[in-house]
Chain A
């Protein structure tokens, strides 16, 4: 589904990603782990199409389509979803009307009929129940005055509403207590199926207790230095990132 090939990315002349290769297939969950500053969020943002990143070489394709040819909104309509590390507050725009617009833009793109107010409400109520989000948050302006946990829950609610092909979760666990973490993870697990894929970007292993990945990749200094199964996350938790970096230096020295 998602293929990243030899991706090099600069931010303000500083090279952040230095040759990333990643293959994510439908039905899979991949975790990208790494210390602060390793380039995890850069990768997530480049996939979503955020400005301020210069792709110097390499490619990213979604189902064979070059995503660099697409604007952020086109990527979203094609099925890319980024759960933000810091969801943006938008005063004056209600969560519900924002989502209705988004859902219908995506439906239009797929050649589906737009949902009218009644059908949208019905669909939304279903998803609200599923994610455990209450009316109050729905009628308030997008993320405006939400707690950290509420913002993250709102991201997962949007994930459920938009039903993308590929969900990229950027540090979704940051700032969450254990109860909120469970709720958010539950929402992601409900989303998972054989036709979609999830990329979880995280610093800590904690989240992966709840969203169990099929593959774990360790990103250090802009490169994936190690890949493995879910047990790799536990090993990292145990030994720390130094273990991989040192390991790598030793290997390189051999």
Chain B
């Protein structure tokens, strides 16, 4: 086994996985998986020769042999540290990729609202899943194909037209298993109907100190005039890996706001994409990554302006310490039809040491002629003048620097509407920057 090529290892695991599915292997959903595994076989894992993966070498990930781990025995008390204090949420807990109903809690919802695990939905309502899943996020790289091939659990959130979910939905992912490198491949589907509203927290944590791998795909479908907010918090141990693809698809007048906060992880790769496929859509992508040691965080974003009169705002910020490395690749695509597009992109990073590094690549491709697009990247050190100003008022140098870094980072949360979440994220940033 050890000598198998990583790709072949996963393909061999697929046969075992398939055998364990019993009757479900005859289901239409399984056809999707089969298509995905052959796509994976063809694509293999990306290498740095692939333009989209140029700055992120995944060899250190594949050096480990990951196993779909058994569920750990956790109590409600054990998961408390991963909750947002004082925030009322519908909670979906996944341990090693499997839904754990005994730790989850869903408030009574309006008629037609679905907040469920994918595993259950595949048994009770596979039609709903099949109507959306795999239609928005393609099998465009090895990881996405692999996720689809092994898709068997995750969160399914469906809000019918003219409805809403009152509280946040917290999708909590805990990963870790004693003595082995754990693997989870959650597959989440979020569908917001016409005029609906939805707020989601997607968080990732480790329950072991080992190198674990999360390979997740989210599909987010926004109906007309819907409003969806997603807060992704990556807070795993410093040796874990995460590959996260979050693909949104926006219909007329919808507003999509995605926050990405990356604090933990050894190698983290995010593909955060949205297609504005009708008029008057707004897409907001905000990100913050704080890295230290040898952490490597790669944020790829893709905002696809397909139709006119839409706007997008993007702001990513990073603070890089130690020998850590960041990658920001922000693609904004304005198609011929997308007149009157208003697109704004900004990427700022502070390098705290001379060994920290960032590769930043704003990528604007504009094929329409009547548009407003701007982008800016600012990479630098802390402002010496500002440090001196604080010191000249009696604040020590280290303290002054911390104040300035925190201010730089927390700025990204300015537009956050929930005080509880705002405070929690501020607190996590504070702890990380200590």
Question: Which chain A residues have a beta carbon within 8 Å of chain B's beta carbons?
Answer: 48-51, 71-73, 75-77, 81-82, 84, 87-93, 98-99, 101-102, 105-106, 109, 141-142, 158, 162
Q: Is residue B167 within 8 Å, beta carbon to beta carbon, of the partner chain?
A: no
Complex CA gap A81/B408 in Å reads 26
Contacts A51-B384, A88-B385 given; does A162 touch B407 at CB 8 Å: no
B394 touches A48 (CB 8 A): no
Name the segment of B70-78, B105-113, B396-404 touching the other chain: B396-404
A184 to chain B, nearest CB (A): 18
Q: Is residue B388 within 8 Å, beta carbon to beta carbon, of the partner chain?
A: yes
Complex CA gap A238/B406 in Å reads 51
Contacts A73-B396, A101-B395 given; does A92 touch B388 at CB 8 Å: no
Complex CA gap A251/B2 in Å reads 92
What mask results when residues 122 to 154 of chain B are scored 1 for a CB within 8 Å of chain A, else 0?
Answer: 000000000000000000000000000000000
B419 to chain A, nearest CB (A): 16
Q: Of A72, A91, A102, A106, which is in contact with the most chain B CB atoms at under 10 Å from its CB?
A: A72
Contacts A88-B386, A90-B404 given; does A72 touch B392 at CB 8 Å: yes
A105 touches B389 (CB 8 A): no
Pick the residue among B383, B385, B392 that contacts A76 (CB under 8 A).
B392
Contacts A91-B407, A92-B407 given; does A102 touch B389 at CB 8 Å: no
Name B400's closest neighbour in chain A (CB-CB).
A73
Complex CA gap A51/B400 in Å reads 15
A51-B388, A98-B393 known, 17 other contacts, Cβ within 8 Å: A49-B392, A50-B388, A50-B392, A51-B384, A71-B396, A73-B396, A73-B397, A75-B392, A84-B389, A88-B386, A90-B386, A90-B407, A93-B403, A98-B390, A102-B390, A105-B393, A106-B394
B207 to chain A, nearest CB (A): 34
Task: Please name all residues of chain B whose beta carbon is closer than 8 Å to the beta carbon of A89 when the two chains form the complex.
Answer: 386
Q: Is residue B411 within 8 Å, beta carbon to beta carbon, of the partner chain?
A: yes
18 contacts between A and B (CB under 8 A): A50-B392, A71-B397, A72-B388, A73-B400, A76-B391, A76-B393, A76-B394, A77-B394, A81-B392, A88-B386, A90-B386, A90-B407, A91-B408, A101-B403, A102-B390, A102-B393, A142-B389, A162-B394
Pick the residue among A76, A88, A91 that contacts B411 (CB under 8 A).
A91
Task: Please name all residues of chain A whose beta carbon is closer than 8 Å to the beta carbon of B388 when the two chains form the complex.
Answer: 50-51, 72, 88
B427 to chain A, nearest CB (A): 15
Q: Is residue B104 within 8 Å, beta carbon to beta carbon, of the partner chain?
A: no
What mask results when residues 401 to 422 of chain B are scored 1 for a CB within 8 Å of chain A, else 0?
Answer: 0011011101100000000000
Task: Please name all residues of chain B whose beta carbon is closer than 8 Å to the beta carbon of A72 when the two chains form the complex.
Answer: 388, 391-392
A93 touches B407 (CB 8 A): yes
B404 touches A105 (CB 8 A): no
Task: Please name all residues of chain A whose beta carbon is closer than 8 Å to the beta carbon of B386 when the two chains form the complex.
Answer: 88-90
Contacts A93-B403, A109-B394 given; does A87 touch B410 at CB 8 Å: no
B384 touches A105 (CB 8 A): no
